[in-house]
Structure formats: structure tokens, C-alpha cells
Structure 1
Amino acid sequence: MADAKWRVALLIFNGAWASTVYGSMELFHSVNLRRPKDQQFHCDLVSADSQPVQLYGGQSIQGDAVIGDEPYDLIMLAHYWGDFQYLTEQYPSIPPWLAKQHAKGARIAGVNSGIFWAAEAGLLDGGRATTYWRHLREFELRYPKVQWQANQASVEHARIYSSNGQNASMDLSLHLVEKFCGASIAAGLARDISFDSRRTYDLNLINIAGFRQHRDVGIHRAQDWLDEHFTQSVELQALANQIGMSRRTFIRRFQKATGELPSRYLQRLRIEAAKHRLGNTQDSIKTIGMGVGYRDISSFSKVFKSLTDVTPREYRQRLRPTDTKTQI
């Protein structure tokens, strides 16, 4: 596909999970079916050498290309379960290749434990990432310069993306589609491939992840609580008491850690949840506003526009231009 707009490398290696290789490939293929040829993805299975690769399930596959100087726009790192030290010794050329690709502008996305390749390359030193919970402690010890976010489903840092769990990896892939192709394509694709309309990632969204880039444990606890209870009425004094701070100290530390006042962070949580539901449900705007914690549609619309520059109705129409039902 010489005329494709974006080149994607799906890194394969011994022990890689086939589902996290082919799942991404098929998602990009689904995008291609909706786009003109000059707006499509070209995907390569890329390996460290010309030898066949044995995947986690025992299948043996051959890569389309070998790592080298050819630049890619996006590199996907498959999930792995096994001896990470042995794997890095087996493929010493992968980390420096990733570092060079990232320096050239490539985005790098690690599906669950696959993010360890980026950490091994030093690309996450001083940065943030998440991973599958079973590997979290090992990675904390192996890569202490990385801020591992145990409670985040997806994290974005300096063009490097990570996910925590199989469903979160699908959300990560859809987020990458949005980055390259826009919200309308990503939302349409999400509706078509969704296998469980009840599943929501209203929290732990990449748009919220940046506010976790701090080391204040008390404020992380407060954010954990807000992430779980954002639809409820929130009393800052009660929340401050819960984590052992005065109200004034809590507000000061929260703003220092996140760059936002607690009230504004709460608004962001609610609006991110509302954006997800506007794009993925038929619920009325009033129902969505009340469902994320607002008592009336006027307040909801005012806050929504202050954070997105559009009204809830305009946001939904951008994602679903042909859907005129159930707007109010």
C-alpha cells in the first residue's frame, strides 16, 4: 500500500500474544474500509530478524519486515507473558530501534505488558505509564524511574501510550484511531465493534490521565475517590476529612499536584463521562447530564461548553452527523 498515509509497525517476537497483534491489525483494516486510499494505514508485521516468530499460543509466523531505518508513524507493542529478562537478551536490537523511531516522531503504544519495551529503551524515564496488574510490581522494581500508574486504564506520555487490561487495550487502539483520523471515525468504529454497550470507560480516560502526573499519595487517594463517586454530590470538607487534611490544605495540595482546583477536576470527570455517553448511547442530553452529576441541563451545558467549546448537542452532532434522534 504505497499510497497509504500512515505506516504502522506491529512488533512481533517470541511469546507475543496473537490477539494483541491481530486485534490491532484488524482494527486498522476496519478504518481503511472507511477511508480513501490516501487516508489509510499500511501495517507491517515487524520482527527483530528474518527468523520465524513463535507466538504465545504456539503459532509460528513470519514478519513482513525487519527492524531498520525505515520510519513508522506508529509502533504497536504486543502483550507478553514470560521471562522479560530472557526476552531482552534474545532481542537486544529492539530497544535502540524503538528509541530511534521515537526520536524521529513515531508514536509508540504498548498493549498491557508490551510497554516494557519502551521502558527498556529508556523512553519512559521520568514519565508515566500503566501495565497489566500482574506485571506491575515487577516493572516497578525493574524500571524505578518510571511512574507506574496502577489505577489508570490508559496513560499517554510524550507520544507513548500504555494500557491496563484487554478491554482497555481496545480503548487505547480507538484513541489512536482518533489521534490519526478524528473523533467521528473513531466513534463510528467503536459503535460497530462494541461487544458490550454497558461497558464504560468514563473514568481513567486518557484525557484525564495527565492530572495523575504527580507523587502526592494523599491527592491520588482523593482522585481515586472522585473517579469512583463523581456522579454524586461532593462535599470538599468531607473529602478532605476522609484523607486526613483540612479543607484549605486539601485544596492547596490538590491544585499544586494537578494544576486544577478539586471542583474543576470534578467537572472534567463529569464532562469526559458525558462525552463518552454522547458518542456511544442514544440517551437524551438531559438524561446524560443528570447521569453524570448535574441537576439541570442548563448547568450541564454551561460547564460542557466551557471545557469543550461546543454544546453537548453540537458535540454529538459532530460524532454522529446523521443521528437526529433523542437529542434533548
Structure 2
Amino acid sequence: MPDAKWRVALLIFNGAWASTVYGSLELFHSANLRQAKNRQFHCDLISADRTAVQLYGGQSIHGDVVIGEAPYDLIMLAHYWGDFEQLTKQYPGIPPWLAKQHANGARIAGINSGIFWAAEAGLLNGGRATTYWRHLREFEQRYPNVQWQANQASVEHAGIYSSNGQNASLDLSMHLLEKFCGPSIAASLARDISFDSRRTYDVNLINIAGFRQHRDVGIHRAQDWLDEHFKQSVELQLLAKQIGMSRRTFIRRFQEATGELPSRYLQRLRVEAAKHRLGNTDDSIKTIGMGVGYRDISSFSKVFKSITDVTPREFRSRLRPAGIRNISKAD
């Protein structure tokens, strides 16, 4: 057994993008360097057999190990570019191996089109996922029992993670680092590589994915709308009417499906977006609060603490030591 806390397998196969293999590998290695006395990750490049794998860029490499009985805590599925049907015929052993690993507790992360392996293994039936836009229609036709989320950067379902672009794949890797190692190491790495400072989408959605584990299509539609418009003023009466429900029915069904009132779900969306900005920008707390939908800093701080148990200022201080901060005096 490797002298590390977590075992990670990075699956390689013909057509895999090297950047989505080595990018994740180097992040895990960087996490190890931060805790040299307590190594977090043992990483294997894993392949279906002992033959060389030709990556998308033309390089040929061999896996460190071949898929088998050894258990893993996390399996990363590389983005690919190629003939999907051909790959399934070339590597018939990968889907059943993934299914067994997942049944034994492994988390699985499909980077962009890499998620097709999880879908092929039947692990996403009745669940949700996203993927690279170029493959979305193909996957919708091949896996109609999966709710493909075209507009979400990252999605989690039952321990299976997916992303829909190169930037989103880095976000996904960082999110997994936080899951396994905690926010301190993840934040330290994010600072060192100037990570996530100019995102144009909201990466907070992955952190509330648990509220999507239901099959109420009407409430999913409402969540889709809230996910996109949470920065705006929201009238529940109008939202309920938009999806064809009375206000009372909407609130009842929303709470039954998610376990939260729609107003609280909206607060969580806003707080997750604020957490992201607190950790990755020097914007003032007032600016951040107004930017996620609050009219004054008092209301923002009260809601933030009710969800996180700390104030926005305390949250930022934990993630960003004073020596590296350049926060506006407006704080």
C-alpha cells in the first residue's frame, strides 16, 4: 500500500488529452509538497492494458499500472478527442472496472468528454452531468437517461463529477483537492498559480449539487432559472407562475424536492458565489455583497454567517493571510 492518505488513478487511453492528465497530476503533486511529512496522494497513470497509449498530441506513453482489483479513492477520466464508438470497442474492460470501483466507494471525475466512461458504465442513469459542448448532443442521444446540464460548468451526482471546458476542468480538480485536503491547501494552491481570478461563469454551482438529487422536473427548471439569475431580485410568485405552479404549490414542492425553502436555496447560491469572490479577488465586502444580490452589507453579512458560521471578513482571513492581501479600505 503506498505511503499516502489517498489513492488516485488517472485513466489514460488513445486520444486522451495530455493537459487534462498532467494538469491534475501536477496539482496533486503540489498538494503533496505542502505536507511533505504527511503525503496526501499516491497517483497512478492507469491504462486498460500494457500496450502504449497514443495521446491526442501524438505522444506515446505507458500506464504505471493496468486496471485490476486494486482499490482507488478517486479516479480521473481524461478529456478525449476521437471516435467514441471505436474507443468503447477498443476498451471494453473500462466501464465494468469503473462500476466496481464506484461500488467500492471511489469518487469518479470525468474531465469534459471523459465523463462518457461513467455514462457508459451506467453510473449516471437517472442522474445529472455536464460535458464538453462538442459532445453534448451525441451524449444526449446515446444516454437519454442522463440529465445533461449544458449550462453548468461543473456538476456532481452521487460521487461522480463532471466539467464542460478547460477552465472548468481546473476548477473541478481544485474542488476535489478541497474535498480531500480541506480549504486551506486548496486556497494556497489557488494563490500560487493565480488560479480562478478571471472566471466568467459561476463555479459555486458544484458546491450545492446535493440539492439537485431529486426527479421533480418542474423544480429542476426553477433551480436552473435561479442558478442563472440569483444576482437579481427574485419574486417567488412570478417564478412559480413561470413554471406553471401556484406560489404555495411551488414552495411546498421545492422544499419536498430539495429539503430547503426556495428563499434559503437562493441565499445559498449567493453565499457560494460570494465565497468564491472573497477567496479569489480583492473586491471589498460591500462590493461583493451587492454583486451577489444584496442591497446592504448588513443583510449580506447576516445571511453569510447564518450559512457558514463565520462573517465574510473572517472567511476571507482564513483563506487569505494578511501578508498576501490587498483589500480595499472599503472593507
Q: Can you list the C-alpha shifts for 1:175-218, whole angstroms capped at 9, x where unaligned?
A: 01001111011112122223662215435521122333444444
* Partners of 1:4 and 1:37 within 8 A in 2: no
Alpha-carbon distance change, 227 to 103 in structure 1, aligned in 2, over 3 angstroms: closer
Instruction: Give the Cα–Cα distance (whole angstroms) in 1 for the partners of residues 129 and 272 of structure 2.
Output: 20
CA distance in 1, matches of 2:158, 2:220: 21
**Conserved? CA contact 2:154–2:163, under 8 Å:** yes
Cα offset, 1:305, TM superposition: 1.4
Q: Distance in 2 between matches of 1:195 and 1:180?
A: 18
Aligned to 1:230: 230
Aligned position for 1:127: 127
Q: What's the CA shift for 1:325?
A: 5.6
Deviation at 1:260, TM superposition (A): 2.4
* Structure 2 residue runs without a partner (length 5+): none
Q: Distance in 2 between matches of 1:29 and 1:58?
A: 25
Q: How many residues align?
A: 328
**8 Å CA contact retained: 2:118, 2:124:** yes
Contact 1:184/1:320, CA 8 A, preserved across alignment: no
Contact residue 15 and residue 54 of structure 2 kept, 8 A: yes
Tell me what 1:40 maps to: 40
Gaps of 5+ in 1: none
Structure 1 segment 1-328 matched on structure 2, within 5 A? 2-194=2-194, 197-203=197-203, 205-323=205-323, 326=327, 328=331
- Give the letter for the 1:261 counterpart: L
Classify 1:260/1:195 alpha carbon distance in 2 versus 1 (closer, same or farther; 3 Å).
closer
Shift of 1:9: 0.9
Deviation (angstroms), 1:284? 2.2
Contact 2:226 2:266 in 1 (8 A): yes
Aligned to 2:114, the other structure's residue is in SS state helix
> For 2:123 and 2:109, how far apart are their aligned partners in 1?
12
Structure 1 distance, partners of 2:161, 2:86, is: 24
What's the offset of the Cα at 1:319?
Answer: 1.5
Deviates more, 1:54-63 or 1:167-176: 54-63
Q: Kindly indicate whether the alpha-carbon contact (under 8 Å) linking 1:226 and 1:266 is maintained by their aligned counterparts in 2.
A: yes
- Distance in structure 1 (CA, Å) of the matches to 2:71 and 2:50: 18
Is 1:52–1:60's contact at 8 Å kept on the other side of the alignment? yes
Give the deviation of 1:80 after TM superposition. Answer: 1.4
Are the counterparts in 2 of residues 50 and 63 from structure 1 also a CA contact under 8 Å?
yes
Distance 2:239 2:100 in 1: 45
- The aligned amino acid for 1:222 is A
Scaled by the length of structure 2, what TM-score is found?
0.90
User: Residues 195 and 306 of structure 1: is their aligned pair in 2 closer, same or farther, counting only changes over 3 Å?
Assistant: closer
Distance 2:19 2:276 in 1: 25
Inter-CA distance 180–203: structure 2 relative to 1 (3 Å threshold): closer
In 1, the alpha carbon distance for the partners of 2:247 and 2:125 equals 34
User: CA separation in 2, counterparts of 1:100 and 1:238?
Assistant: 46
Name whichever of 56-65 and 210-219 sits farther off: 210-219
Q: Mean alpha-carbon deviation: is it higher for 47-56 or for 23-32?
A: 23-32
> Superposition RMSD on alpha carbons, in Å?
2.2
Q: 2:127 corresponds to which letter in structure 1?
A: G
The code of the aligned residue for 2:318 comes to R
Does the aligned pair in 1 maintain the 2:154–2:203 contact within 8 Å?
no
